[in-house]
């Protein structure tokens, strides 16, 4: 009995140890379950944060794309608006606006406002023209100077429905605000993308401006915002947990859109993210509870069985302790196997993992786990490897077979992923295994696991596609940036080419006056290199003279331009060699996008030649005015002399022999004075260039003798004038009055070349130009001068002389070496014109410091000069018939009528061209008409042209003090005033004989 009691006590101890072992196992299993659940929860939250950040990044990219499209669309509309008036967008340009909106499906509508905020055009609804938008929150920033603006969430027109928009201002060439153009993007366009990105119904997606203003959200019915606080989100990207208005915990992630002022944010419900984990926890908890209950039941059953067996052993002690011990070990082993199977099943169900065992000797596989049934494979059955491979998609079989072969050979562990055949949607399976070898080292079995990796593959594929899209966009943006850089470099090269090619002096300054750039013309003017002046104050540059007042004026102009004013002044610069250059100087401010002055552009233009030309023009106008005044006085003086000479001639003729010698001397003296007055008027008219050249044989010796005193007075008291005129020279064919004026010009030029005084010699000589080639040793003759005999008049001075460059330009009109107001530059050009028209040439020889010789070559006349008749005139030819005399001056009309009447003609007078025509209509039948030219109303030339039409063949003589300018083809005989009775008698006789002395 004691033996039985001892065995019973040992049995009770074994039961207790079994209970303790089961309890310890239960605690360990519970601890493992808790640890696995916590790890699963942590992994689920980390995956939720990852999804939120990826969604925010993709949402930012989508927002960037939509707003960039809207930005490009508004830029196209702005380019179109630059070419036309905004009001014309309703007219023929309306289809172009609709075409822009239609070609961009992402843009819902385009609307354009004027500067007052009035809607002038829209691509969607024409009935809302004139809608006032000046108070809209997006209009004021565009008017205030923003170059681009993202609106908040809007509803209704002009876009229609829920929408947001990108706006940009319209400005004119002067920067003035003309209006605004906005491109609306429908919220559904954003929501369509948002639905593909969200991870559940409770997810919130939102787009904000940098200042926190809501741009759009999804779903639209949500109240509040993703981050549940007022104000902008910090930094460009981030993630944090927030509580919304309903107290719900949310996982917030945000990302700023590249290059645009918007932030995309995503708020996922923490409860929704953990929902799959809770479902798995609930299911695994049920499984764990069932397994624990089953283990408990088995433990209780084992304890009861142990007690029964212990009672049986107690009742049948003869069976021995050995049998009881064996039975106890068997029961313990059975319980351990059952518990192991339970743990294995729990792990399979919790992790959706399947186990597989491939017997390499017979080629069959055992699939363990319910998950294989879901994959349409038979679980807990031994199948052939060929049958198992048929469940793999055909494209993946060769890769899986190669991986299995490599693993069996021991080259690499088996890690492979493949797709199941006939699975819709597509499912991916990942397998891992290791090979078990026998004692001989040969592979016997391959044990492995299989799990569904479809979700992971899908997420990885979505991430790869997103990365590929991002890389493609980055590549596109990089290419666009490279193109922009290339265009920028090309623009810089063009700017530099234009900047350096211009002849004006241009630079670039900072607002404080520091020189940043200077073009080639300015550096050349200052004779400096760029590095010597860049970075220095502009007014201290070496091209400015050392004049404190001038440099202060430049500094003041720069300061005013930096304040935003355009400055323009006339200043002076230091030219090459220290000379002074007159410039037209200006400084223009350049403003940046914010309207601040960022650069100054100084520009200077050399106006020295313009100033000189203006001075020459002023001098020429003064000379022209003086010439007109002189010509007018000479013309009126001619009429007075005409009256004096006519009456003196008639008085002498009528006195006849009754005149005493003393009275005849008085009459001759009066006539001689009047004739000299007539010569003076001819010179005045020649000076006024109102006298045509009248070349005739002239004795140049007598002309120089009569001109010597005048030349001396013109040269002044400090200059000695000598005239050398040999006798016996032939006459020259030239207009004497024009020659006198030319010699006066040459003497005055010689005097101006000798400011300290000197000597002028006027030489007369006869010269011959032989045919080419010229004999050796012969002085040079003017180029182009025809061979023949010439008279040479040289004006030689002891002045400063001229260099080769000045000598080459000496006869150019308006070219002068004198200062402003000291000459017109026309003197030598007039002398050259006289010589050329007379058939000769002007020759100038000069060297610096050796004086100048200006010589006129004039052709020799074949006729002898006509001697002037002093005192009594020769017998004038007489005539008969009626002569019509026309003149607006009564004294001239009376004296001329007396002269003509004294010749035997009958005279009818008229004081105007109209009166002459009236006399002809009244029946007058003249044999000739003598008319003055300068008459008010109808001039003498007009009267002659009228008579040539109405009475062809009627001789007309034009009496005038000057003879031009005349119309081309005008050949009316002309009689110069003042004229004598002999001259008018000869003119009438020639006209009646059919000769034209023109």
Q: Assess contact for 519 and 507: CB atoms under 8 A.
A: yes
pLDDT higher than 70, residue 919: yes
Q: What are 503-534's pLDDT values in tens digits? A: 677 888 898 988 888 887 777 777 788 788 88
What single string gives the DSSP state of each residue in 757-824?
-EEEEEEEEEEEEPSSSPPTTPPP--TTPPSEEEEEEEEEE-S----HHHHHTTTSTT--SSPTTS--
pLDDT higher than 90, residue 654: no
Q: Looking at 409-453, list the stretches that DSSP marks H as alpha helix, in order from N- to C-terminal side.
A: none
Q: CA-to-CA distance for 942 and 925, rounded, in angstroms?
A: 20
Q: Is 137 exposed, middle or buried (0-12, 13-18, 19+ CB in 10 A)?
A: exposed
Q: How confident is the model at residue 826 (pLDDT cuts 50, 70, 90)?
A: very low
What single string gives the DSSP state of each residue in 485-503?
HHHHHHHHHHHHHHHHH-S
pLDDT higher than 70, residue 99: yes
Whether omega for the bond prior to residue 965 falls within 30 degrees of 0, making it cis, is yes
Model pLDDT, residue 926: 92
What token pair was written down for 296?
């408990």
pLDDT higher than 60, residue 966: no
Q: Assess contact for 653 and 861: CB atoms under 8 A.
A: no
Q: How confident is the model at residue 929 (pLDDT cuts 50, 70, 90)?
A: very high
Mean pLDDT in residue range 97-120 = 84
**Per-residue DSSP letter, 82:** H
Torsional class of 854: left (φ above 0), alpha (ψ -120 to 50), beta (otherwise) = beta
Close Cβ partners of 104 (under 8 Å, ≥ 6 residues apart): 69, 73, 183
What token pair was written down for 155?
């509803």
What token pair was written down for 284?
């695994």
Q: What are 597-636's pLDDT values in tens digits? A: 888 889 888 877 777 777 667 766 665 665 566 556 666 6
pLDDT higher than 80, residue 387: no
Q: CA-to-CA distance for 705 and 152, rounded, in angstroms?
A: 103
Handedness of CA 319, 323, 325, 329 (dihedral sign): negative
Q: CA-to-CA distance for 919 and 927, rounded, in angstroms?
A: 14
Model pLDDT, residue 870: 41
pLDDT higher than 60, residue 804: yes
Model pLDDT, residue 882: 92
Q: Assess contact for 437 and 353: CB atoms under 8 A.
A: no
Model pLDDT, residue 884: 92
pLDDT higher than 90, residue 484: no
Q: CA-to-CA distance for 964 and 108, rounded, in angstroms?
A: 80
Q: How confident is the model at residue 1 (pLDDT cuts 50, 70, 90)?
A: very low
CA-nearest of 470, 454, 309 to 393 is 454
Q: Assess contact for 258 and 60: CB atoms under 8 A.
A: yes
Q: How confident is the model at residue 695 (pLDDT cuts 50, 70, 90)?
A: confident
Q: What are 761-793's pLDDT values in tens digits? A: 999 988 888 876 766 666 777 777 878 889 899
Q: How far is CA 840 from the centre of its chain?
A: 58
Q: Is 898 exposed, middle or buried (0-12, 13-18, 19+ CB in 10 A)?
A: middle
Mean pLDDT of the chain: 78
CA-nearest of 87, 92, 150 to 121 is 87
Q: How confident is the model at residue 961 (pLDDT cuts 50, 70, 90)?
A: low
Collapsed DSSP state (helix, strand, coil) of residue 32:
helix
Model pLDDT, residue 12: 56
The CA–CA distances, whole Å, from 801 to 169, 404, 754, 875 equal 68, 112, 9, 54
CA-nearest of 276, 275, 277 to 37 is 277
pLDDT higher than 80, residue 439: no
Q: CA-to-CA distance for 688 and 624, rounded, in angstroms?
A: 8
Q: Assess contact for 274 and 41: CB atoms under 8 A.
A: yes
Q: Is 38 exposed, middle or buried (0-12, 13-18, 19+ CB in 10 A)?
A: exposed
Q: Assess contact for 606 and 585: CB atoms under 8 A.
A: no
Q: What are 560-575's pLDDT values in tens digits? A: 988 888 988 888 888 7
What token pair was written down for 127?
């009935």
SS (H, E, C) 609-678: HHHHHHHHHHHHHHHHHHHHHHHHHHHHHHHHHHHHHHHHHHHHHHHHHHCCHHHHHHHHHHHHHHHHHH
Beta-carbon-side half-sphere exposure of residue 832 (alpha carbons within 13 Å): 13
Model pLDDT, residue 142: 86
Ordered by where they begin, the domains of the chain are: 354-452 (3.30.450.20), 502-596 (3.30.450.20), 693-864 (3.30.565.10), 882-992 (3.40.50.2300)
Determine how β-strand 719-724 pairs with β-strand 567-574.
Answer: unpaired
Least confident of 144-148, 362-366, 381-385, 660-664: 660-664
CA dihedral 33, 38, 41, 46 (to 10 degrees): -140
The CA–CA distances, whole Å, from 810 to 826, 883, 936 equal 10, 52, 41
CA-nearest of 323, 426, 408, 395 to 359 is 408
Task: State the distance between the two ends of the chain, measured CA to CA, in whole angstroms.
Answer: 185
The 10 Å Cβ neighbour count of residue 706 is 12
Q: What are 246-293's pLDDT values in tens digits? A: 778 888 888 888 878 889 888 888 888 888 888 888 888 888 888 778
Q: CA-to-CA distance for 169 and 139, rounded, in angstroms?
A: 9
CA-nearest of 803, 812, 715 to 762 is 715
Model pLDDT, residue 824: 44
Q: CA-to-CA distance for 258 and 920, rounded, in angstroms?
A: 100
Handedness of CA 811, 813, 818, 823 (dihedral sign): positive
Mean pLDDT in residue range 657-673 = 66
Mean pLDDT in residue range 377-381 = 63
pLDDT higher than 90, residue 21: no
Q: CA-to-CA distance for 584 and 570, rounded, in angstroms?
A: 5
């Amino acid at each position: 009995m004691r033996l039985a009691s001892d065995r019973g006590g040992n049995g009770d101890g074994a039961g207790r140890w079994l209970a303790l072992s089961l309890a310890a196992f239960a605690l360990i299993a519970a601890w493992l379950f808790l640890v696995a659940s916590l790890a699963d929860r942590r992994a689920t939250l980390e995956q939720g944060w990852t999804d939120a950040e990826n969604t925010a990044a993709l949402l930012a990219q989508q927002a960037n794309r939509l707003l960039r499209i809207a930005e490009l669309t508004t830029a196209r509309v702005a380019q179109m608006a630059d070419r036309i008036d905004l009001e014309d967008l309703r007219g023929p340009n309306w289809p172009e606006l609709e075409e822009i909106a239609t070609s961009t499906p992402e843009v819902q509508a385009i609307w354009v406002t004027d500067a007052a905020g009035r809607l002038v055009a829209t691509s969607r609804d024409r009935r809302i023209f004139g809608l006032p938008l000046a108070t809209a929150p997006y209009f004021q920033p565009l008017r205030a100077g923003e170059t681009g603006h993202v609106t908040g969430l809007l509803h209704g027109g002009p876009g229609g429905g829920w929408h947001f928009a990108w706006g940009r201002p319209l400005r004119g060439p002067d920067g003035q605000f003309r209006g605004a153009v906005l491109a609306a993007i429908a919220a559904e366009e954003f929501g369509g993308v948002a639905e593909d990105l969200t991870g559940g119904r409770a997810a919130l997606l939102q787009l904000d401006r940098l200042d926190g203003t809501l741009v759009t959200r999804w779903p639209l019915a949500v109240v509040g915002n993703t981050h549940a606080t007022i104000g902008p989100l910090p930094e460009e990207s981030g993630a944090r947990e927030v509580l919304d208005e309903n107290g719900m915990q949310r996982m917030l992630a945000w990302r700023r859109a590249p290059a645009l002022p918007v932030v995309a944010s995503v708020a996922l419900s923490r409860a929704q993210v953990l929902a799959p984990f809770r479902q798995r926890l609930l299911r695994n908890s049920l499984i764990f509870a069932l397994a624990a209950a089953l283990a408990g039941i088995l433990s209780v059953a084992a304890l009861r069985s142990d007690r029964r067996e212990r009672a049986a052993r107690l009742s049948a002690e003869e069976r021995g302790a050995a049998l009881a011990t064996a039975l106890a070990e068997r029961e313990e082993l059975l319980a351990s196997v059952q518990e192991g199977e339970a743990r294995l099943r729990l792990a399979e169900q919790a992790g959706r993992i399947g186990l597989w065992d491939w017997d390499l000797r017979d080629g069959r596989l055992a699939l363990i786990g319910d998950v294989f049934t879901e994959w349409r494979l038979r679980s807990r059955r031994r199948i052939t490897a060929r049958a198992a491979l048929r469940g793999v998609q055909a494209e993946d079989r060769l890769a899986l077979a190669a991986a299995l072969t490599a693993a069996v050979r021991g080259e690499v562990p088996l890690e492979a992923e493949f797709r199941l055949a006939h699975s819709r949607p597509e499912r991916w399976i990942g397998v891992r295994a290791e090979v078990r070898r026998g004692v001989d080292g040969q592979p016997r079995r391959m044990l492995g696991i299989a799990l569904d990796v479809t979700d992971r593959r899908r997420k990885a594929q979505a991430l790869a596609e997103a990365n590929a899209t991002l890389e493609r966009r980055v590549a596109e943006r990089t290419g666009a940036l490279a193109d922009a850089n290339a265009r920028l470099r090309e623009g810089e090269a063009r700017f530099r080419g234009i900047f350096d090619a211009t002849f004006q002096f241009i630079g670039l300054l900072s607002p404080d006056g520091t020189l940043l750039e200077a073009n080639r013309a300015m550096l050349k003017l200052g004779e400096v290199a760029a590095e010597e002046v860049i970075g220095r104050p502009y007014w201290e540059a070496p091209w400015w003279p050392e004049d404190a007042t001038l440099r202060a004026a430049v500094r003041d102009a720069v300061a005013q331009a930096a304040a935003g004013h355009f400055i323009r002044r006339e200043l002076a610069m230091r030219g090459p060699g220290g000379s002074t250059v007159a410039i037209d100087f200006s400084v223009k401010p350049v403003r940046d996008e914010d309207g601040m002055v960022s650069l100054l552009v100084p520009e200077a233009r050399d106006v020295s030649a313009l100033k000189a030309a203006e001075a020459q023009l002023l001098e020429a106008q003064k000379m022209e005015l003086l010439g007109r005044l002189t010509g007018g006085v000479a013309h009126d003086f001619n009429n007075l002399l005409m009256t004096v000479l006519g009456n003196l001639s008639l008085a002498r003729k009528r006195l006849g022999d009754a005149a005493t010698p003393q009275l005849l001397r008085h009459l001759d003296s009066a006539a001689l004075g009047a004739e000299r007055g007539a010569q003076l008027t001819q010179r005045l008219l020649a000076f006024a260039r109102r006298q045509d050249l009248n070349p005739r044989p002239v004795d140049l010796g007598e002309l120089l003798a009569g001109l010597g005193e005048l030349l001396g007075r013109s040269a002044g008291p400090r200059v000695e004038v000598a005239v050398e005129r040999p006798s016996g020279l032939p006459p020259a064919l030239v207009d004497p009055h024009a020659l006198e004026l030319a010699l006066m010009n040459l003497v005055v030029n010689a005097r101006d070349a000798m400011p300290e005084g000197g000597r002028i010699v006027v030489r007369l000589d006869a010269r011959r130009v032989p045919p080419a080639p010229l004999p050796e040793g012969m002085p040079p003759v003017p180029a182009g001068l025809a061979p023949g005999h010439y008279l040479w008049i040289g004006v030689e001075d002891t002045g400063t002389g001229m260099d080769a460059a000045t000598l080459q330009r000496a006869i150019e009109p308006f070219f002068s070496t004198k200062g402003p107001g000291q000459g017109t530059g026309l003197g030598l050009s007039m002398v050259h014109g006289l010589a050329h028209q007379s058939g000769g040439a002007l020759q100038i020889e000069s060297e610096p410091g050796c004086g100048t010789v200006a010589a006129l070559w004039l052709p020799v006349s074949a006729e002898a000069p006509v001697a002037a008749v002093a005192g009594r005139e020769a017998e004038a030819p007489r005539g008969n018939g009626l002569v019509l005399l026309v003149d607006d001056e009564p004294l001239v009309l009376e004296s001329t009528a007396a002269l003509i009447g004294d010749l035997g003609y009958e005279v009818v007078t008229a004081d105007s061209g109209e009166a002459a025509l009236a006399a002809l209509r009244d029946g007058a039948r003249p044999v000739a008409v003598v008319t003055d030219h300068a008459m008010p109303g109808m001039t003498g030339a007009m009267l002659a042209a009228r008579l040539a039409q109405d009475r062809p063949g009627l001789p007309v003589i034009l009496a005038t003090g000057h003879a031009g300018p005349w119309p081309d083809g005008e050949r009316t005989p002309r009689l110069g005033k003042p004229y004598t009775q002999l001259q008018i008698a000869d003119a009438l006789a020639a006209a009646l004989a059919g000769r034209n002395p023109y």
